[in-house]
Amino acid sequence: MMTVKNQNQIALMRKAGIIVRDTLQLLEEHAKIGVTTKYLDELAYEYIRKQNAHPSFLGFRGFPGSICASIDNEVVHGVPSKKVRLEEGMLLKIDAGACFEGYHADAARTIAIGAVSPEKKKLMDVCKESFFEGMKVLKEGARLGDLGHAIQRYVEARGFSVVRNLIGHGIGNELHEDPAVPNYGVPGRGMRVFANMTIAVEPMINMGDKEVIFTENNVAVTKDGSPSAHYENTVVILPDGVEILTL
C-alpha cells in the first residue's frame, strides 16, 4: 500500500538515510583489490548496528547479508561471500538499507575496483547521471512515466540499455511499498506522485542488452554477460522537486 508520510516519519527516514549514506561511504573506502565481499558485509552490519539501526536487507525475503554485493554482469542481489575477492577492473555494486525506529532508507552505488576500462567507467557514470536526470522532472503532480522516460532517454541516447524487470519502489515503514517505480516509461503516463511520498529511485543499466536472468540464488545477471551498473537513492517528493535522503 502506498502511503504519504507525515513530518515525524520523514524525520526518521532522514536519520535512516544518513546511516545508509555513511555506510556506503565507509564501504567505498574499504572496497579495494583483494578484499572479500563478506568483509564489506561485516563492516556494514557493524556500522549500522552501532547507529542503533538494523540492516534492512538482513533476513528480507530470506536474504543472508546486510548488503547486496554484485560484480560486473551481476545486476543486483549479489550475496556477500568469503570466496569472492575484489579484483582490478571489476565493477562492484553495493546496495544497502537501514531501518531506524521502524523506518527504512535504501541506496546503491557502483564502485570501480582499481583501474576499470573506459567503457565500464562510462557505464557507471551514465547510470549515476541518469538518476539526476530523473530528479529534474520529479515533483508533486508529476507522473511516474515522466520520471522513467527521463532516465530511459538519457541512458539509451548514450548507447546503454535499461533493465525492465527490476525497478524502484515505494519505501517507508516497509522496505518495499507501493508504488512500483520503473526506470522507463511514457511521458504523461503512470501514477501521479504526491507531496511527502517517499520512493527509492534506482536506475539499473547494462552495457549490452536489457534482458536479465535469475540464478537459483535469485541473483539477477545480464543475459548476454555484459557489465551492469546500479545507482539508487531514497527521496521524498516536494511541491517543487525532491529531497534526497541518502546523499
- pLDDT tens figures, 128-140: 999 999 999 999 9
Mean pLDDT of 107-122: 98
Q: What's the chain's average pLDDT?
A: 97
User: Is 114 within the bounds of a domain?
Assistant: yes
Domain that holds residue 94: 7-244
In this predicted structure, what is the pLDDT of residue 3?
Answer: 76
Q: Is residue 143 predicted with pLDDT exceeding 80?
A: yes
Angle at 178 between CA 130 and CA 165, to 5 degrees: 50
Mean pLDDT of 70-94: 97
DSSP 232: B
d(CA 199, CA 233): 8
Percent of the chain with pLDDT over 70: 99
Q: Cell 573506502 sits at which residue?
A: 29
Structure-model confidence comparison of residues 217 and 18, the more confident one: 18
User: Is 2 within the bounds of a domain?
Assistant: no
Which CATH number belongs to the domain containing residue 201 in this structure? 3.90.230.10
Q: Is residue 217 predicted with pLDDT exceeding 90?
A: no
The model's pLDDT over 186-204, given as tens digits with 9 standing for 90+, comes to 999 999 999 999 999 999 9
User: Is 135 within the bounds of a domain?
Assistant: yes
Q: Is residue 111 predicted with pLDDT exceeding 70?
A: yes
Q: Confidence class of residue 1 from pLDDT cuts 50, 70 and 90? A: low
User: Is 13 within the bounds of a domain?
Assistant: yes
Using a cut of 0.85, tell me whether the model's pTM lies above it: yes
Angle at 67 between CA 64 and CA 71, to 5 degrees: 105
Q: Is residue 235 predicted with pLDDT exceeding 80?
A: yes
In this predicted structure, what is the pLDDT of residue 216?
Answer: 87
Q: What is the domain count for the chain?
A: 1
Sequence-distant (6+) residues with CB within 8 A of 13 are 5, 100, 103, 104, 105, 171, 172, 198, 234, 236, 245
Identify which of 123, 62, 63 has the alpha carbon closest to the alpha carbon of residue 92.
123
Phi, psi of 159, rounded to the nearest 5 degrees = 90, 10
Q: Is residue 67 predicted with pLDDT exceeding 90?
A: yes
CA 7 to chain centre: 24
